[in-house]
Amino acid sequence: MSKTITKTFKSHDTLSNVREDLIATGIEQEQIFVDKDNNQVKVIIPAEAEPEILEIMNRHQPID
């Protein structure tokens, strides 16, 4: 089953850094959505990958 994880960040630079880190860990670009209007990164992943993805995203100090 797939799950969508969404985190909000302070700056556009952080959005790019989060995206790059996710790609570097093997997440396919098609599964990563960057919403610059809302400063959010959304990732669609299998539910079992959630802890790893949250760890990566939380390294960048999300505001939500």
- The total of structural domains in the chain comes to 1
64, part of any domain:
no
Q: Determine the pLDDT at residue 25.
A: 93
Q: What CATH number is attached to the domain comprising 27?
A: 3.30.1370
DSSP secondary structure letter of residue 30: G
Domain that residue 22 falls in: 2-58
List C-alpha distances in Å: 7 to 25, 41, 55, 56.
18, 6, 12, 11
CA 23, CA 26: separation in Å to the nearest integer? 5
For residue 63, what pLDDT is reported? 96
Kindly provide the residue ranges of all beta strands, DSSP E only, lying in 11-50, ordered along the sequence. 32-35, 40-46
30-55 pLDDT tens trace: 999 999 999 999 999 999 999 999 99
Distances (CA, A) of 48 to 1, 51, 54, 60: 9, 7, 11, 21
Residue 1 has pLDDT above 90, yes or no: no
Q: Residue length, the chain?
A: 64
Confirm whether 63 is domain-assigned.
no
45 in a structural domain: yes
Domain assignment present for residue 43? The answer is: yes
